[in-house]
Amino acid sequence: MIKLEVFGIGCPKCQATERNASEALRQSGLEGEVELVKDQVQTIKKGIISTPALAINGNVKAMGRIPGVTEIVNWLSELK
C-alpha cells in the first residue's frame, strides 16, 4: 500500500496539495492513503523547510509548492 504524506498546517495550499494527491492516487489505480501531517517535529525530521510538501512512501518529492496531479501520477507510476 502506498502512503502519501502532505506536510503543512492545513492552509489552502496544503489542502490543494492534499486534493491533488488524492486525485492522483485515484487516477493511478493504486491502493494507498493520503495523510495530512501537521506535526512540526515530523516535518523537521524529514528535512522539510518549506510547506506544503509531499512525500511518497517516506521520500520527499515536492517542497514549498503545490505539485500537479499529472506530476504526482508520474511519481506513482515509478512505483509500479
Positions annotated as catalytic residues are 11, 14
Partnered with residue 32 across adjacent β-strands are: 2
All residues at 6 or more sequence positions from 48 whose CB lies less than 8 Å from its CB, including other chains: 7, 60, 63
Q: In whole angstroms, what is the distance from residue 25 CA to residue 72 CA?
A: 8
